[in-house]
């Protein structure tokens, strides 16, 4: 019923957009010269820096990542154009071709003032988890259509659109509103939401019952390659003899223990084993859903999420990241060999990208480039500075605060208290902005009013592309490069507009794709309209990307 209501609301817009595309462009010249693919596979590796492709290529298999690097199209200057480079916004861009200013996914979560609580990007309290216990998930917060949505409409629903990922938000944002199913790993089980299914299909239940995930109980994650090969990643982060506490930050990592306990789930989800289960499930989905078996194009999107958890813990220059990258390459070779037998690679188009990059560990950067100013930054200082400035200007709020919510890089002000005291919201934003800009380590700060004015003028800065009124808060700020939020001495993150977070790989392979290395500056938002051209369908309604015509036959 949720999908029916969405379709009723948006069908006219989608069909109108499709009609306009047809009238404006005529028959796609790509579709008229090259048979359109029977299966599109979109792969998003969560947290993947493009330099991994060169640093670790000597250890790649023949038909994994090298399928792209040697026989496909490689874009070396692909990037995200928005400022808040988190998982949910990144995945939302890939197949909508739009940014948060249109699709509404400003972050992994945001503050809902009407509900006085945080809103998760894929939340749906009206539904339930199918195959697990908990609240439902859906794309209702995604305000744009995806390539999958347009495929479903263009073929009268005959095409199959299936998404599989380690994280719910990854699967859901890739699938869109009309996808047949979105699956993800919840603990050790493949689950979905009541938005898609009333119950798990029999083949998914059998997959879960087979105990594939729990088969990793007691298995230790050690290096796949000889130790000397990991010089490509630099020195290991912690010598094995120093890992007395068993933190698992070095090889060999602690074994995946107690299948019923938290230790198992933490070790399993932060290991390459997590990706292995997803890859096996994706291949099973190709068989059970009969993907690529007829002339109506199907879409399979796969999100490998373990790379992100490992990267957060160990950093991009660690042996762990090198190892999971090489192991991901092996999984891709298995997948491509399977698809070649099942569907035929001549009938397939494959795209691989990432949802964001990652910052280097500050401690590594301090040694590499001492003048870069790399350090760890405590974000609470920003909210404290804004709160103090507002209290000094407008007085204390007994039992409340002027800053009601802070989730880097967004501050949300107490609008009700401002109204009660007769204070202009725009004025209060400026007070908070000046205070935030005075915090050492802050590069810039913009108010919601500033960003709304940019939108009115058509000035699409990275901050404006991440801005959606009502969701984005009242003050946006950006830290200086190489400042990593958080305290302590372990791990790193992403989320900024700096190149190490926005620069990602963009690789293509398949029918209609001209192999080669392309140094042209392109955007991840270009994936959706380019796939639409290959499929001879309209691009998604809100897409702002461009077709990568130089790559197309």
Q: What is the mean pLDDT of each run of 10 residues along the chain (553 residues)?
A: 44 43 39 78 98 97 97 98 98 98 98 94 94 92 98 97 98 98 92 95 96 86 93 64 42 67 73 96 98 96 97 94 98 98 97 98 93 95 98 94 97 96 97 98 98 93 97 97 84 96 98 95 98 96 95 91
Q: Tell me the CATH number at 331.
A: 3.40.720.10
CA distances from 90 to 79, 197, 272, 452, 498 (A): 11, 26, 22, 22, 15
Q: Which domain holds residue 339?
A: 33-213+229-361+501-551
Residues 343 and 395 in one domain: no
pLDDT at 490: 75
- Provide the pLDDT for residue 455: 94
In contact, 376 and 484? CB cutoff 8 Å: yes
Q: Tell me if 447 is assigned to some domain.
A: yes
Pick from 454, 485, 516: which residue ends a domain?
485
* Nearest CA-CA partner of 165 in 305, 267, 281: 305
Q: How confident is the model at residue 250, as a pLDDT? A: 74
Count other Cβ atoms within 10 Å, centred on residue 530.
28
Give residue 4's pLDDT. Answer: 47
Ordered alpha helix ranges (H), 97-146: 100-103
Residues 332 and 439 in one domain: no
Identify each DSSP E strand in 418-548 by its residue range.
442-447, 475-479, 483-485, 506-510, 516-523
Same domain membership, residue 437 and residue 410: yes
- pLDDT at residue 488 in the model: 64
Pairwise CA distance, residues 54 & 269, whole Å: 26
Number of domains in the chain: 2
* Claim to verify: residue 319 and residue 394 sit in the same structural domain: no
Same domain, 318 and 451: no
**Does the residue 307 lie in any domain?**
yes
Is 201 part of any domain?
yes
Residues 94 and 241 in one domain: yes
In a domain, 310, yes or no: yes
339 with 395, same domain? no
Q: What is the pLDDT of residue 217?
A: 83
pLDDT 10s digits, 306-352: 999 999 999 999 999 999 999 999 999 999 999 999 999 999 999 99
Q: What local confidence, expressed as pLDDT, does residue 236 receive?
A: 64
356 and 244 both lie in a single domain? yes
Q: 267 with 392, same domain?
A: no
Residue 139, domain member (yes or no): yes
In a domain, 173, yes or no: yes
Report pLDDT for 257.
64
pLDDT for 233: 82
Same domain, 329 and 403: no
Are both 406 and 450 inside the same structural domain?
Answer: yes
E strands, 372-416, are 375-377, 403-407, 410-413
Vertex 477: Cα angle to 473 and 478 (nearest 5): 140
Is residue 101 within 8 A of residue 465, CB to CB? The reply is: yes
**Looking at the structure, do residues 424 and 515 belong to the same domain, yes or no?**
no
Nearest to 503 by CA among 485, 521, 515: 521
């Amino acid at each position: 019923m949720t999908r029916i209501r969405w379709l009723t609301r948006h069908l006219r817009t989608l069909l109108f957009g499709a009609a306009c595309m047809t009238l404006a462009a005529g028959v796609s010249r790509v579709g008229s010269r090259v048979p359109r693919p029977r299966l599109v596979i979109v792969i998003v590796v969560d947290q993947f820096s493009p330099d991994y492709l060169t640093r670790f290529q000597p250890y790649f298999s023949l038909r994994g990542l090298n399928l792209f690097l040697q026989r496909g199209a490689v874009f070396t200057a692909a990037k995200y154009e928005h400022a808040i480079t988190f998982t949910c916004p990144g995945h939302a861009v890939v197949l909508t071709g739009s940014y948060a200013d249109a699709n509404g996914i400003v972050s992994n979560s945001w503050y809902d003032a009407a509900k006085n609580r945080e809103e998760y990007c894929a939340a749906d309290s009206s539904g339930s988890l199918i195959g697990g216990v908990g609240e439902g998930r859906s794309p209702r917060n995604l305000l744009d259509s995806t390539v999958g949505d347009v495929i479903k409409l263009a073929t009268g629903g005959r095409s199959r659109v299936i998404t599989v990922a380690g994280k719910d938000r990854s699967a859901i944002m890739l699938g869109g509103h009309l996808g047949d199913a979105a699956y993800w790993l919840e603990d050790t089980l493949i689950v979905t939401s009541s938005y898609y299914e009333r119950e798990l299909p029999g083949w998914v239940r059998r997959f879960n019952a087979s105990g594939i995930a729990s088969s990793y109980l007691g298995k230790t994650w050690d290096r796949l390659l000889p130790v000397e090969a990991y010089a490509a990643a630099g020195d290991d982060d912690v010598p094995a003899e120093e890992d007395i506490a068993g933190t698992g930050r070095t090889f060999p990592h602690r074994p995946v223990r107690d299948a019923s306990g938290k230790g198992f789930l933490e070790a399993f989800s932060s290991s390459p084993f997590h990706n292995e289960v997803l890859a096996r499930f994706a291949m099973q989905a190709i068989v059970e859903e009969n993907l690529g078996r007829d002339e109506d194009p199907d879409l399979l999107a796969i999100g490998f999420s373990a790379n992100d958890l490992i990267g957060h813990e160990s950093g991009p220059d660690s042996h762990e990241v090198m190892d999971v990258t090489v192991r991901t390459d092996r999984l891709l070779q298995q997948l491509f060999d399977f698809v070649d037998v099942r569907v035929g690679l001549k009938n397939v188009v494959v795209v691989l990208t990432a949802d964001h990059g990652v910052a280097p560990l500050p401690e590594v950067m301090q040694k590499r480039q001492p003048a870069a100013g790399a350090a760890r930054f405590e974000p609470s200082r920003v909210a404290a500075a804004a709160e103090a400035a507002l209290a000094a200007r407008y007085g204390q709020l007994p039992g409340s605060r002027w800053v009601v919510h802070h989730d880097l890089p967004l501050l949300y002000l107490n609008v009700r208290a401002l109204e009660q005291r007769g204070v202009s919201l725009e004025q209060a934003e400026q007070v908070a902005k000046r205070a935030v800009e005075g915090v050492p380590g802050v590069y810039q700060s913009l108010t919601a009013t500033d960003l709304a004015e940019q939108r009115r003028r058509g000035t699409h800065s990275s901050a404006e592309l991440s801005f959606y009124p009502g969701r984005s808060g009242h003050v946006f700020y950006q830290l200086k490069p190489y400042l990593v939020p958080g305290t302590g001495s372990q791990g790193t993150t992403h989320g900024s507009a700096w190149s190490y977070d926005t620069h990602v790989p963009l690789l293509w392979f398949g029918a209609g794709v001209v192999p080669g290395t392309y140094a042209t500056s392109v955007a991840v938002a270009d994936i959706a309209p380019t796939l639409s051209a290959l499929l001879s369908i309209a691009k998604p309604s809100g897409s702002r990307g461009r077709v990568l015509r130089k790559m197309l036959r």
